[in-house]
Structure 1
Amino acid sequence: MLYIDLNCDMGENFGVYSLGNDEEIMPYVTSINVACGFHASDPANMRKTVKLAKKYGVAVGAHPSLPDLVGFGRRAMSVTPDEIKADFIYQIGALQAFCHAEGVVMQHVKDHGAITDMANNDLAIAIAMAEAIQAVDSNLYMVCLANSLMVKAAKTVGIPYVEEAYADRAYTDTGSLVSRKQANAVIHDAATVRKRVLGMMKEKQILSINGSVLPINAQTICLHGDTPGAIALAKELRSSLESSGVTVQPFGKSLRSA
């Protein structure tokens, strides 16, 4: 039997600013990544998002980033591994407190924005992220971009991990994500997204933006809730997967029962 987790970044509202369609898209995903205040969100929105996850029965993870509210965490910064480790411990711990208050067990940690590219080019940064997770709770899964240095970091530190693929993002020939500054970096066509995800599931591969075949073995698929048509896309993708015989559930549940 095939299993897959659908994850989505959420809780990115901040004060009077609203971003994303959290409650509308939550019924169609199985795990969420909650912003922890460094690129978006605030304490009230973190708490609200955890409460929503509990209501809909989806798994919860922290979504830490570089300290960059202005740039939404998407700008590379000159930081040391020690700084990254401290920043991640701070953010993971904050969300864990809200989960504890609501009686929710955290499942994972998934990094956000520019830190992903930094970690994929610098093993020391990736290891700092893994060590931060281990320091807070060694049972938390580290969500790693498939085939990346983050996988090596998780193995080196000795924490559980899953590999992630993106349903609606284009890949380069080397397996990294195409920069959002480039044309066609984000895929909006539902039929294309569905074909890509089913290819990942059944053929363990994905095509790069130039048509190269890339091997991929992902346990979780990321959808973005703030792109046009995101709700309809999530609904259609989940329906297509389930009608194709794929069980859609949190990866923590799938791996524990394996």
Structure 2
Amino acid sequence: MTSIDLNADLGEGFGRWTLTDDAGLLSVVTSANVACGFHAGDPATMRRVCELAAGHGVTIGAQVSYRDLAGFGRRAMEVPPAELAAEVAYQIGALEVFARAAGTRVAYVKPHGALYNRVVRDAGQAAAVVDGVLLAGGALPVLGLPGSRLLELAGRAGLPVVEEAFADRAYTDEGTLVPRGREGAVVWDPDAVVERSVELARSGTVTALSGARVPVRARSLCLHGDTPGAVELARRVRERLSAAGVRVVAFA
């Protein structure tokens, strides 16, 4: 039977401000990418999300990013590799404290936003992220875009790699994500997101913005938690996947 993991970005709040319905999404997804304080999140939020994830049996991953709270981690930044490696390790370590306190552990690492897109092609920044994962200790799996420099270098370093796809983001003909600043970069139609999820899981392809069918073989499917109606959409995706004969299970 075909299987796929469902992951979502969670804990994306700060202080009294909240963005994602963490409890609702944790009742649906199988993996949680938890913000570690650099683009969103704070200690109390990280602790709460780890406890909720543990209670639901959801796998916890560290969503590491550039230090950019004001820009939600989506602004381009220039960070020296040694500094970035240390910041990645710092974020993983911070989340690990709360994961262990909840009776579980950090099971993988996923970059966020501008860092995620940067390490698709930038070997220097990708190597820094890999160095940060190694510095944090253990051979944590790295979640990223198929064909990215990040996954290439992580694999060379002996880290498990996990390919990821996005049902609610538009793709280029090269299999990369259309930049958010371009029209049509985000797929807002819930029915389209549901059908694209099945297409990705069953055939390993996605319809690009140009209309071309592009191969995107992935073991994990990301559902953005900041999408309007995210919880209901996630439930629809999971139900449709199950109806299509796809087993939804965590990769880690």
CA distance in 2, matches of 1:211, 1:80: 39
Q: Is the 2:5–2:251 contact (alpha carbons within 8 Å) kept by the matching residues of 1?
A: yes
Q: Deviations over 1:46-95 (max 9, x none)?
A: 00110010111110000110000110100011112111101100000100
1:255 aligns with: none
SS in 1 for 2:96: helix
Q: Is the 2:90–2:136 contact (alpha carbons within 8 Å) kept by the matching residues of 1?
A: no
Q: Is the 1:188–1:229 contact (alpha carbons within 8 Å) kept by the matching residues of 2?
A: no
* TM-score (structure 1 length as normaliser): 0.94
Instruction: Tell me whether 104-113 or 174-183 shows the greater mean CA deviation.
Output: 174-183
Residue correspondences, number: 252
CA distance in 2, matches of 1:235, 1:107: 24
Unaligned runs of at least 5 residues, structure 2: none
Q: Is the 2:81–2:128 contact (alpha carbons within 8 Å) kept by the matching residues of 1?
A: yes
Q: Is the 2:35–2:46 contact (alpha carbons within 8 Å) kept by the matching residues of 1?
A: yes
2:43 aligns with: 43
2:101 aligns with: 101
Task: Summarize the alignment of residues 46-65 of structure 1 with structure 2, pairs less than 5 Å apart.
Answer: 46-65=46-65
Q: Is the 2:110–2:144 contact (alpha carbons within 8 Å) kept by the matching residues of 1?
A: yes
Instruction: Tell me whether 102-111 or 43-52 shows the greater mean CA deviation.
Output: 102-111
CA distance in 2, matches of 1:47, 1:235: 25
Q: Is the 1:11–1:22 contact (alpha carbons within 8 Å) kept by the matching residues of 2?
A: yes
Identity rate of aligned residues, in percent?
44
Task: Summarize the alignment of residues 9-48 of structure 1 with structure 2, pairs less than 5 Å apart.
Answer: 9-48=9-48
Q: Which amino acid counterpart does residue 214 of structure 2 have in structure 1? A: L
CA distance in 2, matches of 1:190, 1:227: 10
CA distance in 1, matches of 2:12, 2:229: 18
1:132 aligns with: 132
Q: Which amino acid counterpart does residue 235 of structure 1 have in structure 2? A: R
List 4+ stretches of structure 1 deviating above 4 A. Answer: none
Q: Is the 2:36–2:63 contact (alpha carbons within 8 Å) kept by the matching residues of 1?
A: yes
Q: Which amino acid counterpart does residue 197 of structure 1 have in structure 2? A: S
CA RMSD of aligned residues (A): 1.2
Per-residue deviation, 1:114: 0.3
* TM-score (structure 2 length as normaliser): 0.96
Q: Deviations over 1:124-149 (max 9, x none)?
A: 21121112112223331100112221
Q: Is the 2:202–2:246 contact (alpha carbons within 8 Å) kept by the matching residues of 1?
A: no
CA distance in 2, matches of 1:63, 1:176: 20
2:78 aligns with: 78
Per-residue deviation, 1:212: 2.1
Q: Is the 2:169–2:177 contact (alpha carbons within 8 Å) kept by the matching residues of 1?
A: yes
1:193 aligns with: 193
Per-residue deviation, 1:174: 2.0
Q: Which amino acid counterpart does residue 203 of structure 1 have in structure 2? A: S
Q: Deviations over 1:174-195 (max 9, x none)?
A: 2221122222211122221122
Task: Summarize the alignment of residues 1-258 of structure 1 with structure 2, pairs less than 5 Å apart.
Answer: 1-252=1-252
Q: Deviations over 1:172-230 (max 9, x none)?
A: 22222112222221112222112212221222211211112211110000001111121
Q: Is the 2:223–2:234 contact (alpha carbons within 8 Å) kept by the matching residues of 1?
A: yes
CA distance in 2, matches of 1:182, 1:239: 31
